[in-house]
Structures are given as C-alpha cells and as structure tokens.
Amino acid sequence: MNRRSSWGIAAAVWFAVGAAPSAYAIDFAQCVHDAQRRNPEALLAEAQAAEAKGAVSAAQGHLLPKLSASFSGAQSNNALTVFGMKLSQRVATFNDFGAGQFNPTNPSSLYTAPNNLDHPGGYHNLGTEISLAIPIWNGGAVRGGIEEAQAMLRAAQAGDQYAQQKLTFTVLQAYDGLIATKAAQEVAEKALHAADAYVQTTRQLLTQGVVVKSDLLSAEVHQEEAALALQEAKNAVANARANLALLIGKPISTPLQVEAPVEPPLPAGDATALEQEALAQNPAIRALQEKVHAARAGIGVARAAYLPHVNAMAKQEWNGTSLGNAAPSYTVGGQIQWNLLDFSRSGEMDAAQAKVQAALADLQKAQDQTRLTVQKTVLAAQLAAQRVKTRELAVRQSEEAQRLLRLRYQNGVETLTALLQGQAALDHARAELVQARYQEAIERGALWLALGKMDLQTLSRAPSGVGQ
C-alpha cells in the first residue's frame, strides 16, 4: 500500500469519526422531567386542572355583587318615549301636555288632542347609569355550583397527578427497555464471538483430521445465524433508543446514552394491605370519587329551581340632552322570585340524580379493576423475582456446561453438534435473564402505579447497585 492510499484511508476514518454524533448522556430523572414538559397527555391534564380552577373562581364570583356601568344615547319622536325622556331629565312642563290649547271657558276643549303631547317632534337623551346587583339567596344554586366546581377541580388535580405517574411508568418502560435491548445486544455479541471461535477451532481440528468437513460447514452456518441475531439485536437497540428519544422530545436520531437500569423496590405488605392502600391513594380513584361529589352537588343546584330566589339592586342614573346638564336619579329595590309551576324542573332533577348513579358506577368499576390489578401485579412481581433467580442459576450452569463441552470438543471426544447445542442453550439462558430482569422492573413499576406512588421519590428508594 502506498503512502497516498494510507493518507486516504486515514482521512476517511477521521471523517467518519468526526462526522459521527457524540453520545447524549441522560439519566432516568432527566428523562421523566423532559417527558412531563412536552408529553401531550400530561399537558392536557394540566390544562384541564387550570380550566377547573377557573371554573371555581367563576362559581365563587356569583356570590359577590356585580357592578356595571353603561352609557346610552337615543333620538325619538315617539310620544311616550319623548315624554319619558323629559321626565327622566326633569324638564317636563305643562306645555308638554298641550296646556296652551286648553281654554277653560270652553268645556269642549277638554276633548281637543294636544299637539305638544301627541306630536312632540324629535328629541334625544344621553343617559349614564351605574348599577349594583346584590345576590342574597338563590335557593342554594350558587353554593352548590361552588361545591361542584371545587370537586371537579380536585378531580382534575388528581387526574393530572395520575397522568404524571402514568407517564413516569411509560418512561420507565422505555428507559429500562433501551438498557435491556443493549444487554441483549451484548449477549448476541458474545454469541457471535463464540461462534467465530468455534469456526476457528473446527478449521484447526479439520486440518488435524479430527473432524469432518460437515462439522466446519455446521460451524459456519451457526456463525451466520449468530451474526444475523446480532444485527436483529442492534435494530432492537436503535428502535428502543428512538422510542425513548421521541418520548422525551428529542430527535429520533439522537444517540442517547443511558445509565444503569432502574429497578423499583418491592412494596412492603401483602396483597390485602396493598389493595387497601391502592384504593385510598390511587389518584385515578380519587378523581372518580371527586366526580361523585361533584354530581351530588349538581343535585343541589337542580333542587334550587324549586326554591325562591332573593336579590337586591341599586342604580344611579344621569339623563340629559348633553353630558353637562344631566339630571341625577336613583333606584333601589329588592326582588323575590319563586317559580311555582315549571315542568322542566323535574327533568333536571332526574338528570342530576342519573349523573350521580353514573359516577358511582364508574367509581365502582375502577375500584374493582384496581383490586384485580393489584392482585395480578403482586403475583406477577413475585413470579418475576423468582424467574430472575432461576435464570441467573441457569446462566451459571450453562456457562460451566459449555466450558466443559468446549474442552471435550477440543480434545476430540465431543461432537460439534453437542457443542453448538450447548452454546445455543447458553445464549438462550442469557437472553432470558435479560428479559427476566426487565420484566421484574416493569412489574414492580406497575404495582407502584396501581398504588398511586409511581414517582421519582419512590424509585429513588431502590437499593444502590440494583439491576447492575
């Protein structure tokens, strides 16, 4: 190889290394924070909580007086309207009644239509008004509306909390899933390395006349299968990395570099105690309980239609032909309104009661599902822990058995078929151990999610070194 070719190869290698993107190191906590900042479901739950908070403020505002101001201008030749304008401006005169046409010496003039009163001509008024409406009692509708809005706010807040916990669990699946696929890739690399060694050993033994040509062919086929399995494992790592990158709002091509796997601690207590804890702490259950409270408050709102409503008002007005000569006036008063006959009220009451029944049904369904989920997850977590121990033992035994098979094959007292079968068993045991460790972490995470405690604080209680 000449120097020019050497420089070309070196430049190509330098360009390839320089062009490769640097790894983006990120830990589990940062993944959770990034996901919560941009995940659509989390943003929707946060928006719903903000909307419910605004509804509470609106409902509480109905308890307070309402102050409003208005300005109006009008021009009319309507006899009644014009006379009313002059009265409000305090400028009405006897002549506006047509007094000039009345002749006291002529009794028949009493039947004369007064032109000034019936045909006043065009007239205008500029009015300014400040009014104060004071709610006193509305049959409990306002209080019921406030209670309903507050219950829906608590439901939305609990729903937001559950959405964040569910997202944390999803991040756990993606984060540990990436680590599991990387571990599976390492297993596949070991398998390919062993297959390469078998091919090399078989060639040496074939040269020595210890094995036949078919043994070498079998070893080469096994080598190709190991290479194919490694490529599949690399594809799985790329897909898992893209899934996690998309979840945390990074470009799919981001070369994420994750740390040690997260293995949640196993909750203390038996299935019965954990079931009671889940029913009391799960935010999804609390959200449905608050919806029941909101529905019951809705019955109070519907019942208010059967009761009297009491309100008061105060109003200050200024009326005149211009803003400078406006005449002031005031009005104060109160009102008691009672709808004695309204056939729509019974339908509204029935609808409110039906909402309570529907909310109770949803709550009962969720509670039953939570009980079943806790029961299944507790058993699954226990089985996953037992499976990890079994797979660890299987790997140790398979490694020792394969070591002995390799020695026997090198000494010509064992067939290549047995050696390849032993290696396949070892590869399978290693792959199952990777999957078992991942499944154990996911089952524990699912249990914490059912308990309503799937958060970083809970996961941080895992013993150091767990899952290494």
Burial class (CB in 10 A: 0-12, 13-18, 19+), 61: exposed
Q: What is the pLDDT of residue 21?
A: 53
Q: Burial level of 70, CB count in 10 A (0-12/13-18/19+)? A: exposed
C-alpha pair distances (Å), 36 with each of 18, 217, 328, 345: 33, 54, 59, 45
Domain chopping of the chain, boundaries: 28-62+140-310+345-459
Contacts of 270 (CB under 8 A, 6+ apart): none
pLDDT of residue 467: 36
pLDDT of residue 431: 86
Beta strands in 200-249 (DSSP E): none
Q: Digits of tens for pLDDT over the chain (468 positions)?
A: 443 344 343 334 333 334 445 678 888 889 999 888 877 777 787 788 888 888 888 888 878 899 999 999 999 999 999 999 989 989 888 888 877 777 777 777 777 788 888 888 899 999 999 999 988 888 788 888 888 888 888 888 898 889 889 999 999 999 999 989 998 898 899 889 888 988 888 888 888 877 788 888 888 898 999 999 999 999 999 999 999 999 888 888 888 888 788 888 888 888 899 999 999 999 999 999 999 999 999 888 888 888 888 999 999 999 999 888 889 999 999 988 888 877 777 888 888 899 999 999 999 999 999 999 999 999 999 999 999 999 899 999 989 998 998 888 788 778 777 877 888 888 888 888 888 999 999 999 999 999 999 888 888 765 433 333
Q: Are 312 and 340 in contact (CB under 8 A)?
A: no
Taking the C-alpha atoms of residue 431 and residue 434, their distance in angstroms, rounded to an integer, is 5
Give the CATH superfamily of 28-62+140-310+345-459.
Answer: Outer membrane efflux proteins (OEP) (1.20.1600.10)
**pLDDT reported for residue 14:** 36
Residue for token digits 């154990």? Answer: 440
Among residues 363, 377, 368, 376, the alpha carbon closest in space to that of 169 is found at 377
Give the pLDDT of residue 461.
63
pLDDT value at residue 288: 93
| Cα distance between residue 332 and residue 68, in whole Å | 15
Residue 435: count of CB within 10 angstroms of its CB: 16
